[in-house]
Amino acid sequence: MCGIFAYLNYNVNKERRYILQVLFNGLRRLEYRGYDSAGVSIDSSSSDSSSSSSSQNYIFCPPPLVFRREGNIESLVKSVYQEVSETDLNLEESFSIHAGIAHTRWATHGEPAPRNSHPQSSGDGNEFLVVHNGVITNYEVLKETLVRHGFTFESETDTEVIPKLAKFVFDKANEEDDQTVTFSQVVLEVMRHLEGAYALIFKSRHYPNELIACKRGSPLLLGVKELMEGRSNGSAFHDEKFLSKNDFPKELFLSSDANALVEHTKKVLVIEDGEVVHLKDGGVSILKFDDDKGKHGRSLSRPASVQRALSVLEMEVEQINKGNYEHYMQKEIHEQPESLKTTMRGRLIRGGSCKAKTVLLGGLKDHLKTIRRSRRIVFIGCGTSYNAALAARPILEELSGVPVTMEIASDLLDRQGPIYREDTAVFVSQSGETADTLLALEYALENGALCVGITNTVGSAIARHTHCGIHINAGCEIGVASTKAYTSQIVVMAMLALAIGGDTISNQARREAIIDGLFDLPNNVREVLKLDQEMKDLAKLLVAEQSLLVFGRGYNYATALEGALKVKEVALMHSEGILAGEMKHGPLALVDENLPIVVIATRDACFSKQQSVIQQLHARKGRLIVMCSKGDANAVGPGGSCRVIEVPQVEDCLQPVVNIIPLQLLAYHLTVLRGFNVDQPRNLAKSVTTQ
């Protein structure tokens, strides 16, 4: 969804050109999240930091500059430099202190247009500016109130009410109170009126060289980079110095995503819901929003500061670069042998002939007994994460003996489906910030279920709020269409099944075979990646098609759903994953000699049934593409009656990991051949942080 980024340099001289470049590059690191417009705000001239302590001196601070543009970030960059060339703005002007904000917008309220782009303003003079990720659900009520007080609105966004509400609060406080109102008091009062999910950064000419960030639901991080020579990188920022004001030169960053921070610093603070982070005079104050404070009194609330510790990002800049690949999706498909190794590293134990083969999941070890005693296990996710859980459901049922049910997060919330104290609810999300999954997690916690998180993002909301969990450790995934996270999720859930069923003697041989299969899986994935050219050739045959059906069953019903999802989301071709057992209940009517149909028929318990499906489709002159295990080409397509894709055979519960790779490659090559944006599909976002 939307991406927000801010950069504040303190006691270190930076030219306006450099500040703009930092803001633009921050947005480039966030564009994979999906967007349709972008904007930045910088100061029009240098401000004396001594004036920032008094709100009455804002008149001496010129209005900040705001640049907004529909389209991609490069369009924004071009328009900014064009505007600068037409004015007397000096790009070489140096600032010892400066606060800039930037935003990529994914339209929710109002069409993509400059007036709807962020930063949104309080009105003439840009007294308050806001960038926002999320949705304000009560914005219409707030808008009506502000209109009655004389405010006029220029955009159709829900965000515009926020800076205007800040101006209203500021003006009201100065009318009623002789004391100077602080920036944080204004923001806390604004938060008290907002409903919905949001991450916000405020900038104001009343408070030059200050920024305030706050959040409820949407992700937000603070990055800290000290520039003093001779200070240790590991301990440069102790908590007390982190919170205190000092004159050490430093750079501070705010971002929706660690990807935009890692090239600057690895020292970050994951901002929690309800926290207000105030950057001022080289210090960072963290306040905790209390909705009850100030509700009944006239004066604005003044909460005390809280202390938080910085954490260290465990990622490298190289992870967010394309390397030698044309696109992130292509890179991430080909990274899967290594990402699977990383997912399993330290978790699989395969001793000598006398030692049992086991799985060690440290994040679950204290809760395994509770999970085994569960009334049922409920998988909850959206999109690709839901498909990964569906692929793992059969092996979890087989090894644990516990009933497993599947829930799409939004549907669970719509139905208010029953969740019991005796349930184990497993929340699957690549980002760990998916809005519907987070709301379902809150619902499950309220109902007393044991909540387990499976996510790729350390420190994400799901990782923090579940009772226990497993990080899939797939590495940074930039492409909107999930590839390596999907396969790592399946592997993690297979290991979860092994851990839960680990004390069952009757399943020992089966468990050991799966563990052996997991060890061999990266090599099998490497083998199937050799089909790249074959899938490119197939894509050339299908490039002009309008529709594609994918049939699967058993473990590979999820593969059919996920393969179809990949094709529709990046190649923009209608595709549908269908449970093969339902073929005769409607889908068979679509079959003719023109419609391409993929049938997944690798060796497992459902193989003979899939052979029957192939025969029935062939009898109706279906245009078949069959995926089968190596050596089975004649068994599935006698006489060369269909196009065959042969893949390595692995343990049945791991076969979905191998089988999805050709479909990922097909989707990728179809997209390139059709001329669409592989990494940023139309209308889609990487992390869905709004409902």
Q: How many CB atoms lie within 10 A of CB 540?
A: 12
Q: How many CB atoms lie within 10 A of CB 239?
A: 11
Q: How many CB atoms lie within 10 A of CB 395?
A: 24
Instruction: For residue 451, give the H/E element and its range.
Output: strand 450-455
Instruction: For residue 488, give the H/E element and its range.
Output: helix 484-500
8 A C-beta contact, residue 564 and residue 598: no
Residue whose C-alpha is closest to residue 109's, from 137, 129, 149, 72 = 137
Indicate left, alpha or beta for 111 from its phi (over 0: left) and psi (-120 to 50: alpha). Answer: beta
Residue whose C-alpha is closest to residue 8's, from 89, 104, 96, 118 = 96
Q: Which two tokens stand for residue 268?
A: 């970050």
423 Cβ contact partners less than 8 Å away, ≥ 6 residues apart = 374, 375, 376, 377, 378, 444, 449, 450
Instruction: For residue 408, give the H/E element and its range.
Output: strand 404-408
DSSP label of 89: -
Q: How many CB atoms lie within 10 A of CB 373?
A: 11
Residue whose C-alpha is closest to residue 423's, from 437, 405, 439 = 405
Indicate left, alpha or beta for 526 from its phi (over 0: left) and psi (-120 to 50: alpha). Answer: alpha
DSSP label of 211: E
Can 2 be counted among the known catalytic residues?
yes
Put the strands of the sheet holding 37-42 in their side by side order.
65-70, 37-42, 94-105, 3-15, 250-255, 221-226, 267-270, 311-312
To 10 degrees, what angle do helices 508-528 and 383-400 make? 150
Measured CA to CA, the distance from residue 349 to residue 193 in angstroms comes to 53
Measured CA to CA, the distance from residue 215 to residue 248 in angstroms comes to 27
Place of tokens 């305030």: 212
What residues are labeled active site?
A: 2
